[in-house]
Amino acid sequence: MPHLIIEYAAPLAQETDIQGLVDAAFAGAEASGLFSADHIKVRATPVEHYTTGGTNQPFVHVEIKLLSGRTGAQKKDLAARVLENLTTKLPTTAISVETNDLDRESYSKRA
């Protein structure tokens, strides 16, 4: 835990190193100090059809899913670190980051 899910406008893959974005998001999550590196999971998914403010401006959106229990300040810092790392890779692209708590009692996984 956590899961970082990167959605990005598909055309970005033609001009951007998507694995570099995955690595940058990972580094931001690791730098937060909230998780050990072996628990951080990051994946990226292209979005073929989209509109951004009525245009086809490229975008990146990151959803961070984490088990409940972190403070608002911790989540804000985590999101800021991920955003900062992605911004260095894509300084002119619209980027957003959100955090979402998963219910600790009902979350299940197989190792």
Q: Which DSSP string corresponds to 35-70?
A: S-GGG-EEEEEEESS--BTTB---EEEEEEEEES--
pTM of the full predicted structure? 0.93
Q: What is the pLDDT of residues 18-43, one digit of tens each?
A: 999 999 999 999 999 999 999 999 99
Q: Does residue 79 contact residue 43 with C-beta atoms inside 8 Å?
A: no
Q: Do the bridges between strand 59-67 and strand 94-102 make them parallel or antiparallel, or are there none, so unpaired?
A: parallel
pLDDT tens digits, 49-101: 999 888 889 999 999 999 999 999 999 999 999 999 999 999 999 999 999 99
